[in-house]
Amino acid sequence: MTLHVPTLVLMLVIGYGLLTLLLAVAGHGGLKRGELRQLGWAAQALCLGFLCFALRPWLPGWLSLLGGNLLLMVGLALFAAALSWHLLNRGLSNWFLGLLVAAAMSVPLVLDATTPLRVGVMSGAMAVLLLPSTVAALRHGWRGELSFRVVALMLLLACSALVARLVYAVWWAGAGPAAGGEAAFWSGAIFMLAFMAVLAAGFGFVLAGFERMASQMRKLASVDGLTGAFNHNTTVSLLAHTLERGRRENQPVSFVMLDLDHFKQVNDRHGHVVGDAVLRAVAACTRARLRGSDVLGRLGGEEFGLVLPATGLSGARHLAEQVRLAVEGLALEGDGGRPLRVTLSAGVAEAARSDTPETLIHLADKALYQAKQQGRNRVVVADDWMRNSTLQSVVG
Ligand SMILES: Nc1nc2c(ncn2[C@@H]2O[C@H](COP(=O)(O)OP(=O)(O)OP(=O)(O)O)[C@@H](O)[C@H]2O)c(=O)[nH]1
Protein backbone atom coordinates (compact mmCIF):
# COMPACT_ATOMS: atom_id res chain seq x y z
CA MET A 1 0.00 0.00 0.00
CA THR A 2 1.29 3.45 -0.80
CA LEU A 3 0.18 6.61 0.96
CA HIS A 4 -0.87 9.51 -1.20
CA VAL A 5 -0.94 12.76 0.80
CA PRO A 6 -3.46 14.64 -1.47
CA THR A 7 -5.87 11.69 -1.06
CA LEU A 8 -5.45 11.88 2.72
CA VAL A 9 -6.22 15.61 2.55
CA LEU A 10 -9.43 14.82 0.67
CA MET A 11 -10.32 12.16 3.27
CA LEU A 12 -9.96 14.79 5.98
CA VAL A 13 -12.20 17.23 4.08
CA ILE A 14 -14.83 14.47 3.93
CA GLY A 15 -14.24 13.42 7.57
CA TYR A 16 -14.63 16.94 9.00
CA GLY A 17 -17.59 17.50 6.64
CA LEU A 18 -19.28 14.40 8.07
CA LEU A 19 -18.55 15.53 11.63
CA THR A 20 -20.16 18.91 10.81
CA LEU A 21 -23.20 17.13 9.38
CA LEU A 22 -23.46 14.81 12.39
CA LEU A 23 -23.34 17.75 14.81
CA ALA A 24 -25.95 19.67 12.79
CA VAL A 25 -28.28 16.64 12.83
CA ALA A 26 -27.64 16.01 16.57
CA GLY A 27 -28.42 19.70 17.32
CA HIS A 28 -31.59 19.49 15.26
CA GLY A 29 -32.58 16.29 17.08
CA GLY A 30 -32.44 17.90 20.52
CA LEU A 31 -28.77 17.66 21.55
CA LYS A 32 -28.56 21.43 22.04
CA ARG A 33 -25.44 21.71 24.14
CA GLY A 34 -23.45 24.93 23.67
CA GLU A 35 -20.13 23.12 23.51
CA LEU A 36 -21.36 20.85 20.71
CA ARG A 37 -22.41 23.91 18.71
CA GLN A 38 -18.87 25.23 19.11
CA LEU A 39 -17.48 21.84 18.13
CA GLY A 40 -19.63 22.12 14.98
CA TRP A 41 -17.97 25.46 14.13
CA ALA A 42 -14.56 23.90 14.81
CA ALA A 43 -15.37 21.03 12.41
CA GLN A 44 -16.48 23.54 9.75
CA ALA A 45 -13.28 25.59 10.09
CA LEU A 46 -11.13 22.43 9.90
CA CYS A 47 -13.11 21.15 6.89
CA LEU A 48 -12.63 24.48 5.06
CA GLY A 49 -8.94 24.55 6.04
CA PHE A 50 -8.31 21.16 4.44
CA LEU A 51 -10.42 22.22 1.44
CA CYS A 52 -7.94 25.09 0.94
CA PHE A 53 -5.10 22.54 0.91
CA ALA A 54 -7.05 20.20 -1.40
CA LEU A 55 -7.60 23.06 -3.89
CA ARG A 56 -3.89 23.90 -3.96
CA PRO A 57 -3.42 22.92 -7.65
CA TRP A 58 -6.14 25.43 -8.60
CA LEU A 59 -5.51 28.24 -6.09
CA PRO A 60 -2.54 30.62 -5.86
CA GLY A 61 0.01 28.85 -3.59
CA TRP A 62 0.08 31.64 -1.00
CA LEU A 63 -3.72 31.71 -0.72
CA SER A 64 -3.97 27.96 -0.18
CA LEU A 65 -1.24 28.01 2.49
CA LEU A 66 -2.48 31.16 4.22
CA GLY A 67 -6.17 30.20 4.19
CA GLY A 68 -5.52 26.55 5.09
CA ASN A 69 -3.21 27.22 8.04
CA LEU A 70 -5.31 30.09 9.44
CA LEU A 71 -8.53 28.05 9.24
CA LEU A 72 -6.88 25.06 10.93
CA MET A 73 -5.70 27.32 13.76
CA VAL A 74 -9.17 28.82 14.20
CA GLY A 75 -10.60 25.28 14.14
CA LEU A 76 -8.21 24.15 16.89
CA ALA A 77 -9.07 27.22 18.99
CA LEU A 78 -12.82 26.53 18.61
CA PHE A 79 -12.16 22.91 19.56
CA ALA A 80 -10.34 24.18 22.68
CA ALA A 81 -13.28 26.47 23.49
CA ALA A 82 -15.79 23.61 23.18
CA LEU A 83 -13.62 21.42 25.38
CA SER A 84 -13.24 24.15 27.98
CA TRP A 85 -17.05 24.57 28.20
CA HIS A 86 -17.57 20.83 28.47
CA LEU A 87 -14.93 20.23 31.14
CA LEU A 88 -14.61 23.48 33.07
CA ASN A 89 -17.87 25.27 32.27
CA ARG A 90 -16.09 28.40 31.06
CA GLY A 91 -14.86 29.87 27.80
CA LEU A 92 -11.31 30.47 26.62
CA SER A 93 -8.98 32.53 28.78
CA ASN A 94 -7.36 35.70 27.49
CA TRP A 95 -3.90 34.13 27.42
CA PHE A 96 -5.18 31.45 25.03
CA LEU A 97 -6.65 34.13 22.75
CA GLY A 98 -3.22 35.82 22.87
CA LEU A 99 -1.63 32.53 21.78
CA LEU A 100 -4.11 32.26 18.91
CA VAL A 101 -3.31 35.78 17.70
CA ALA A 102 0.46 35.09 17.91
CA ALA A 103 0.05 31.77 16.05
CA ALA A 104 -2.11 33.41 13.36
CA MET A 105 0.41 36.23 12.90
CA SER A 106 3.21 33.71 12.33
CA VAL A 107 1.43 32.33 9.22
CA PRO A 108 2.02 35.28 6.80
CA LEU A 109 5.54 35.70 8.20
CA VAL A 110 6.67 32.24 7.08
CA LEU A 111 4.79 32.03 3.78
CA ASP A 112 7.92 32.81 1.75
CA ALA A 113 10.30 30.93 4.04
CA THR A 114 11.88 27.57 3.14
CA THR A 115 9.55 24.56 3.41
CA PRO A 116 11.24 23.03 6.51
CA LEU A 117 11.09 26.38 8.33
CA ARG A 118 7.41 26.86 7.42
CA VAL A 119 6.58 23.28 8.39
CA GLY A 120 8.44 23.67 11.71
CA VAL A 121 6.78 26.98 12.66
CA MET A 122 3.26 25.82 11.67
CA SER A 123 3.65 22.51 13.52
CA GLY A 124 4.95 24.28 16.63
CA ALA A 125 2.15 26.86 16.56
CA MET A 126 -0.57 24.19 16.14
CA ALA A 127 0.97 22.00 18.85
CA VAL A 128 0.89 24.99 21.23
CA LEU A 129 -2.80 25.59 20.38
CA LEU A 130 -3.61 21.93 21.01
CA LEU A 131 -1.57 21.53 24.20
CA PRO A 132 -4.00 23.24 26.67
CA SER A 133 -6.90 21.09 25.35
CA THR A 134 -4.79 17.96 25.66
CA VAL A 135 -3.74 18.75 29.23
CA ALA A 136 -7.32 19.68 30.23
CA ALA A 137 -8.73 16.51 28.62
CA LEU A 138 -6.17 14.32 30.41
CA ARG A 139 -6.55 16.09 33.77
CA HIS A 140 -10.30 16.69 33.98
CA GLY A 141 -11.81 14.55 31.21
CA TRP A 142 -10.42 11.26 32.48
CA ARG A 143 -12.80 11.36 35.45
CA GLY A 144 -15.81 12.32 33.30
CA GLU A 145 -17.64 10.38 30.61
CA LEU A 146 -15.97 7.16 29.48
CA SER A 147 -15.94 8.27 25.83
CA PHE A 148 -14.01 11.37 26.85
CA ARG A 149 -11.00 9.13 27.42
CA VAL A 150 -10.96 8.58 23.65
CA VAL A 151 -10.90 12.37 23.23
CA ALA A 152 -8.01 12.69 25.70
CA LEU A 153 -5.95 9.91 24.05
CA MET A 154 -6.58 11.20 20.52
CA LEU A 155 -5.58 14.74 21.48
CA LEU A 156 -2.41 13.37 23.07
CA LEU A 157 -1.66 11.52 19.82
CA ALA A 158 -2.36 14.66 17.74
CA CYS A 159 -0.21 16.87 19.94
CA SER A 160 2.66 14.34 19.94
CA ALA A 161 2.45 14.00 16.13
CA LEU A 162 2.71 17.79 15.70
CA VAL A 163 5.73 17.93 18.03
CA ALA A 164 7.29 15.01 16.11
CA ARG A 165 6.70 16.94 12.86
CA LEU A 166 8.42 19.99 14.37
CA VAL A 167 11.45 17.85 15.33
CA TYR A 168 11.41 16.28 11.86
CA ALA A 169 11.39 19.77 10.27
CA VAL A 170 14.50 20.70 12.27
CA TRP A 171 16.24 17.58 10.94
CA TRP A 172 14.95 18.40 7.42
CA ALA A 173 16.35 21.94 7.60
CA GLY A 174 19.75 20.47 8.57
CA ALA A 175 19.65 17.82 5.83
CA GLY A 176 18.88 20.47 3.18
CA PRO A 177 17.65 19.70 -0.36
CA ALA A 178 19.18 16.20 -0.12
CA ALA A 179 16.19 15.16 2.00
CA GLY A 180 14.06 15.88 -1.08
CA GLY A 181 10.56 14.60 -1.77
CA GLU A 182 10.74 11.88 0.88
CA ALA A 183 10.96 14.48 3.66
CA ALA A 184 7.98 16.37 2.20
CA PHE A 185 6.01 13.10 2.08
CA TRP A 186 6.73 12.15 5.72
CA SER A 187 6.06 15.64 6.97
CA GLY A 188 2.69 15.59 5.14
CA ALA A 189 1.85 12.11 6.42
CA ILE A 190 2.58 13.04 10.06
CA PHE A 191 0.43 16.16 9.64
CA MET A 192 -2.45 14.04 8.32
CA LEU A 193 -2.05 11.61 11.24
CA ALA A 194 -2.30 14.52 13.70
CA PHE A 195 -5.53 15.82 12.16
CA MET A 196 -7.04 12.35 11.83
CA ALA A 197 -6.52 12.04 15.59
CA VAL A 198 -8.23 15.45 16.07
CA LEU A 199 -11.11 14.14 13.92
CA ALA A 200 -11.37 10.99 16.09
CA ALA A 201 -11.34 13.24 19.18
CA GLY A 202 -14.24 15.20 17.61
CA PHE A 203 -16.33 12.03 17.18
CA GLY A 204 -15.42 11.00 20.76
CA PHE A 205 -16.59 14.44 21.91
CA VAL A 206 -20.00 13.88 20.28
CA LEU A 207 -20.31 10.55 22.09
CA ALA A 208 -19.35 12.24 25.38
CA GLY A 209 -22.10 14.83 24.75
CA PHE A 210 -24.67 12.04 24.33
CA GLU A 211 -23.30 10.27 27.42
CA ARG A 212 -23.64 13.42 29.51
CA MET A 213 -27.17 14.06 28.27
CA ALA A 214 -28.18 10.46 29.10
CA SER A 215 -26.82 10.76 32.65
CA GLN A 216 -28.62 14.11 33.12
CA MET A 217 -31.88 12.54 31.94
CA ARG A 218 -31.39 9.62 34.35
CA LYS A 219 -30.83 12.12 37.16
CA LEU A 220 -33.88 14.17 36.18
CA ALA A 221 -35.99 11.02 36.25
CA SER A 222 -34.99 10.16 39.83
CA VAL A 223 -34.30 13.49 41.52
CA ASP A 224 -36.62 16.34 42.46
CA GLY A 225 -35.38 19.40 40.56
CA LEU A 226 -36.21 21.93 43.31
CA THR A 227 -34.59 20.34 46.34
CA GLY A 228 -32.18 17.77 44.90
CA ALA A 229 -33.87 15.09 47.05
CA PHE A 230 -34.93 11.81 45.41
CA ASN A 231 -38.45 11.95 43.99
CA HIS A 232 -41.38 9.90 45.33
CA ASN A 233 -40.99 6.84 43.10
CA THR A 234 -37.25 6.57 43.61
CA THR A 235 -37.61 6.97 47.39
CA VAL A 236 -40.14 4.13 47.53
CA SER A 237 -37.86 1.91 45.37
CA LEU A 238 -34.87 2.70 47.60
CA LEU A 239 -36.96 1.96 50.69
CA ALA A 240 -37.98 -1.42 49.21
CA HIS A 241 -34.34 -2.21 48.49
CA THR A 242 -33.26 -1.11 52.00
CA LEU A 243 -35.99 -3.23 53.65
CA GLU A 244 -34.91 -6.28 51.66
CA ARG A 245 -31.29 -5.76 52.59
CA GLY A 246 -32.16 -5.16 56.26
CA ARG A 247 -34.05 -8.50 56.33
CA ARG A 248 -31.13 -10.35 54.73
CA GLU A 249 -28.50 -8.80 57.01
CA ASN A 250 -30.69 -8.79 60.12
CA GLN A 251 -30.32 -5.04 60.49
CA PRO A 252 -33.01 -2.60 61.61
CA VAL A 253 -34.44 -0.12 59.10
CA SER A 254 -36.34 3.03 60.06
CA PHE A 255 -38.35 5.54 58.10
CA VAL A 256 -39.02 9.15 59.09
CA MET A 257 -41.69 11.32 57.54
CA LEU A 258 -41.14 15.08 57.83
CA ASP A 259 -43.76 17.71 57.05
CA LEU A 260 -43.36 21.48 57.32
CA ASP A 261 -45.86 23.14 59.64
CA HIS A 262 -48.34 25.68 58.27
CA PHE A 263 -46.42 25.88 55.03
CA LYS A 264 -49.49 27.18 53.25
CA GLN A 265 -49.14 30.37 55.34
CA VAL A 266 -45.51 30.75 54.22
CA ASN A 267 -46.65 30.68 50.59
CA ASP A 268 -49.63 32.94 51.26
CA ARG A 269 -47.65 35.58 53.19
CA HIS A 270 -44.33 35.51 51.38
CA GLY A 271 -45.12 34.09 47.94
CA HIS A 272 -44.11 30.88 46.17
CA VAL A 273 -40.56 32.02 45.42
CA VAL A 274 -39.83 32.29 49.15
CA GLY A 275 -41.75 29.03 49.70
CA ASP A 276 -39.47 27.29 47.19
CA ALA A 277 -36.36 28.77 48.86
CA VAL A 278 -37.60 27.45 52.23
CA LEU A 279 -38.05 23.96 50.76
CA ARG A 280 -34.51 24.08 49.35
CA ALA A 281 -33.06 25.28 52.67
CA VAL A 282 -34.90 22.63 54.68
CA ALA A 283 -33.71 19.88 52.30
CA ALA A 284 -30.10 21.10 52.51
CA CYS A 285 -30.22 21.40 56.29
CA THR A 286 -31.70 17.89 56.60
CA ARG A 287 -29.22 16.38 54.16
CA ALA A 288 -26.32 17.84 56.15
CA ARG A 289 -27.36 15.66 59.11
CA LEU A 290 -27.61 12.36 57.23
CA ARG A 291 -25.10 9.56 56.77
CA GLY A 292 -23.91 8.72 53.27
CA SER A 293 -26.07 5.58 53.25
CA ASP A 294 -29.28 7.43 54.32
CA VAL A 295 -31.77 8.58 51.70
CA LEU A 296 -33.58 11.92 51.59
CA GLY A 297 -36.69 11.85 49.41
CA ARG A 298 -39.35 14.43 48.63
CA LEU A 299 -42.63 12.56 48.92
CA GLY A 300 -44.85 15.45 47.90
CA GLY A 301 -45.22 19.26 48.30
CA GLU A 302 -43.74 20.03 51.74
CA GLU A 303 -43.33 16.43 52.81
CA PHE A 304 -39.98 14.61 52.95
CA GLY A 305 -39.04 11.03 53.83
CA LEU A 306 -35.84 9.66 55.33
CA VAL A 307 -34.85 6.05 54.66
CA LEU A 308 -32.42 5.03 57.39
CA PRO A 309 -30.61 1.71 56.95
CA ALA A 310 -29.04 0.01 60.01
CA THR A 311 -30.95 2.41 62.27
CA GLY A 312 -33.32 1.42 65.06
CA LEU A 313 -36.17 3.42 66.55
CA SER A 314 -34.09 5.36 69.10
CA GLY A 315 -31.47 6.35 66.50
CA ALA A 316 -34.16 7.44 64.07
CA ARG A 317 -35.97 9.44 66.74
CA HIS A 318 -32.69 11.13 67.73
CA LEU A 319 -31.96 12.06 64.11
CA ALA A 320 -35.51 13.35 63.56
CA GLU A 321 -35.17 15.49 66.70
CA GLN A 322 -31.84 16.89 65.45
CA VAL A 323 -33.40 17.76 62.09
CA ARG A 324 -36.40 19.36 63.83
CA LEU A 325 -34.12 21.54 65.98
CA ALA A 326 -31.92 22.47 63.01
CA VAL A 327 -34.92 23.53 60.90
CA GLU A 328 -36.37 25.48 63.84
CA GLY A 329 -33.04 27.31 64.09
CA LEU A 330 -32.83 28.20 60.39
CA ALA A 331 -32.64 31.98 59.98
CA LEU A 332 -34.56 32.44 56.72
CA GLU A 333 -35.48 35.59 54.86
CA GLY A 334 -39.09 36.16 53.93
CA ASP A 335 -40.68 38.63 51.55
CA GLY A 336 -38.91 42.04 51.70
CA GLY A 337 -36.09 40.64 53.85
CA ARG A 338 -38.39 40.01 56.84
CA PRO A 339 -37.06 37.27 59.14
CA LEU A 340 -38.82 33.98 58.63
CA ARG A 341 -38.92 30.94 60.92
CA VAL A 342 -40.32 27.56 60.01
CA THR A 343 -40.87 24.37 61.97
CA LEU A 344 -41.62 20.81 61.03
CA SER A 345 -43.33 17.76 62.48
CA ALA A 346 -41.98 14.24 62.15
CA GLY A 347 -43.34 10.71 62.37
CA VAL A 348 -40.85 7.91 63.02
CA ALA A 349 -41.35 4.17 62.43
CA GLU A 350 -39.08 1.15 62.59
CA ALA A 351 -39.74 -1.64 60.09
CA ALA A 352 -40.99 -5.05 61.18
CA ARG A 353 -39.76 -8.04 59.12
CA SER A 354 -43.05 -8.25 57.27
CA ASP A 355 -43.24 -4.54 56.39
CA THR A 356 -43.51 -3.38 52.79
CA PRO A 357 -42.62 0.20 51.79
CA GLU A 358 -46.35 1.01 51.78
CA THR A 359 -47.04 -0.28 55.33
CA LEU A 360 -43.95 1.43 56.75
CA ILE A 361 -44.75 4.77 55.07
CA HIS A 362 -48.34 4.46 56.25
CA LEU A 363 -47.13 3.85 59.82
CA ALA A 364 -44.77 6.86 59.78
CA ASP A 365 -47.63 8.93 58.34
CA LYS A 366 -49.82 7.93 61.30
CA ALA A 367 -47.13 9.09 63.72
CA LEU A 368 -46.78 12.32 61.76
CA TYR A 369 -50.53 12.87 61.99
CA GLN A 370 -50.26 12.50 65.78
CA ALA A 371 -47.42 15.06 65.83
CA LYS A 372 -49.64 17.53 63.95
CA GLN A 373 -52.57 16.79 66.28
CA GLN A 374 -50.43 17.35 69.36
CA GLY A 375 -49.54 20.88 68.29
CA ARG A 376 -46.81 20.48 65.56
CA ASN A 377 -43.04 21.15 65.84
CA ARG A 378 -42.48 17.78 67.45
CA VAL A 379 -41.37 14.20 66.77
CA VAL A 380 -43.73 11.28 67.41
CA VAL A 381 -42.69 7.64 67.30
CA ALA A 382 -45.13 5.05 65.97
CA ASP A 383 -46.41 2.77 68.73
CA ASP A 384 -48.06 -0.66 68.75
CA TRP A 385 -51.53 0.81 68.63
CA MET A 386 -50.66 2.71 65.44
CA ARG A 387 -49.07 -0.42 63.94
CA ASN A 388 -52.16 -2.50 64.67
CA SER A 389 -54.48 0.11 63.20
CA THR A 390 -52.18 0.45 60.17
CA LEU A 391 -52.31 -3.31 59.62
CA GLN A 392 -56.07 -3.25 59.90
CA SER A 393 -56.44 -0.39 57.44
CA VAL A 394 -53.96 -1.91 54.98
CA VAL A 395 -55.44 -5.44 55.26
CA GLY A 396 -59.02 -4.10 55.41
N1 LIG B 1 -43.60 27.07 47.26
C2 LIG B 1 -44.03 25.82 47.14
N3 LIG B 1 -45.12 25.43 47.79
C4 LIG B 1 -45.55 24.16 47.67
C5 LIG B 1 -44.86 23.23 46.86
N6 LIG B 1 -45.50 22.06 46.93
C7 LIG B 1 -46.57 22.24 47.76
N8 LIG B 1 -46.60 23.51 48.22
C9 LIG B 1 -47.56 24.15 49.13
O10 LIG B 1 -47.51 23.55 50.41
C11 LIG B 1 -48.73 23.88 51.07
C12 LIG B 1 -49.19 22.72 51.88
O13 LIG B 1 -50.30 23.11 52.60
P14 LIG B 1 -51.08 22.15 53.56
O15 LIG B 1 -51.15 20.77 52.98
O16 LIG B 1 -52.38 22.81 53.89
O17 LIG B 1 -50.18 22.00 54.83
P18 LIG B 1 -49.62 23.09 55.85
O19 LIG B 1 -50.08 24.48 55.53
O20 LIG B 1 -48.15 22.90 55.91
O21 LIG B 1 -50.29 22.66 57.18
P22 LIG B 1 -49.83 21.49 58.16
O23 LIG B 1 -49.09 20.47 57.37
O24 LIG B 1 -51.13 20.94 58.69
O25 LIG B 1 -49.02 22.10 59.22
C26 LIG B 1 -49.74 24.29 49.99
O27 LIG B 1 -49.96 25.66 50.08
C28 LIG B 1 -49.00 23.97 48.68
O29 LIG B 1 -49.31 24.91 47.66
C30 LIG B 1 -43.70 23.70 46.16
O31 LIG B 1 -43.02 22.97 45.42
N32 LIG B 1 -43.31 24.99 46.31
Q: Over 70: is that where the pLDDT of 202 sits?
A: yes
pLDDT at 396: 47
pLDDT at 390: 66
Provide mean pLDDT across the span 150-167.
Answer: 96
Is 335 contained in some domain?
yes
Say how many Å lie between the CA of residue 236 and the centre of ligand 1.
21
Mean of pLDDT over the chain: 92
Counting from 1 in the atom list of ligand 1, the atom nearest the Cα of 274 is: 1
Q: Which CATH number belongs to the domain containing residue 259 in this structure?
A: 3.30.70.270
Residue 255 structural domain: 232-395
Return the best residue to mutate from 263, 266, 298 for the ligand 1 pocket (most ligand atoms within 8 A of CB). 263
Q: Over 70: is that where the pLDDT of 93 sits?
A: yes
Provide mean pLDDT across the span 196-217.
Answer: 91
- Shortest-distance Cα residue to atom 15 of ligand 1: 264
| Integer Cα distance of 236 and 299 in angstroms | 9
Is 241 contained in some domain?
yes
Phi, psi of 298 (to 5 degrees): -100, 115
Provide mean pLDDT across the span 83-95.
Answer: 90
Q: Over 90: is that where the pLDDT of 312 sits?
A: yes
Question: Are residues 73 and 167 located together in one domain of the fold?
Answer: yes
Is 59 contained in some domain?
yes
Provide mean pLDDT across the span 167-174.
Answer: 92
Question: Are residues 65 and 181 located together in one domain of the fold?
Answer: yes
Question: Are residues 203 and 252 located together in one domain of the fold?
Answer: no
Q: Choose among 199, 92, 184, 211: nearest CA to 154.
A: 199
Tell which of 173, 203, 222 closes a domain: 222
Q: Over 60: is that where the pLDDT of 271 sits?
A: yes
Tell which of 167, 196, 222 closes a domain: 222
Partner residues linked to 308 by β-bridges: 254
Counting from 1 in the atom list of ligand 1, the atom nearest the Cα of 261 is: 25
Question: Are residues 255 and 213 located together in one domain of the fold?
Answer: no
Question: Are residues 236 and 218 located together in one domain of the fold?
Answer: no
Q: Which is more confidently placed, 181 or 202? A: 202
* Predicted confidence (pLDDT) per residue in 17-37, tens digit: 999 999 998 877 666 678 889
Is 339 contained in some domain?
yes
- Range name among 22-31, 143-152, 276-285, 324-333 with the lowest pLDDT average: 22-31
Question: Are residues 217 and 238 located together in one domain of the fold?
Answer: no
Question: Are residues 86 and 182 located together in one domain of the fold?
Answer: yes
- Shortest-distance Cα residue to atom 26 of ligand 1: 264
Is 227 contained in some domain?
no
Question: Are residues 187 and 239 located together in one domain of the fold?
Answer: no
ipTM for the assembly: 0.91
Question: Are residues 178 and 285 located together in one domain of the fold?
Answer: no
Ligand 1 pocket, CB under 6 A: 226, 259-264, 267, 272, 275-276, 279, 301-302, 372, 376
Percent of the chain residues past pLDDT 70, beyond the cut: 96
Question: Are residues 347 and 286 located together in one domain of the fold?
Answer: yes
Return the best residue to mutate from 226, 258, 302, 365 for the ligand 1 pocket (most ligand atoms within 8 A of CB). 302
- Residue 350 is among the residues annotated as catalytic for this protein: no
pLDDT at 45: 97
Is 197 contained in some domain?
yes
Question: Are residues 85 and 202 located together in one domain of the fold?
Answer: yes
Return the best residue to mutate from 226, 264, 377 for the ligand 1 pocket (most ligand atoms within 8 A of CB). 264
Is 39 contained in some domain?
yes
344-350 and 379-381: which strand pairing? parallel
Percent of the chain residues past pLDDT 90, beyond the cut: 76
Q: How many domains does the chain have?
A: 2
Q: Which is more confidently placed, 187 or 180? A: 187
| Integer Cα distance of 91 and 81 in angstroms | 6
Tell which of 157, 190, 222 closes a domain: 222
- Shortest-distance Cα residue to atom 23 of ligand 1: 261
Catalytic residue among 35, 145, 302, 350: 302
Say how many Å lie between the CA of residue 262 and the centre of ligand 1.
7
Per-residue confidence band for 129, with pLDDT thresholds at 50, 70 and 90: very high
Is 218 contained in some domain?
yes
Q: Which is more confidently placed, 388 or 286? A: 286
Per-residue confidence band for 6, with pLDDT thresholds at 50, 70 and 90: confident
pLDDT at 219: 83
Provide mean pLDDT across the span 62-88.
Answer: 94
Q: List CB contacts of 212: < 8 A, sequence separation 6 or more.
A: 33, 86, 144, 145
Using a cut of 0.80, tell me whether the model's pTM lies above it: no
Q: Choose among 288, 293, 277, 292: nearest CA to 227.
A: 277
| Integer Cα distance of 363 and 313 in angstroms | 13
Question: Are residues 259 and 324 located together in one domain of the fold?
Answer: yes
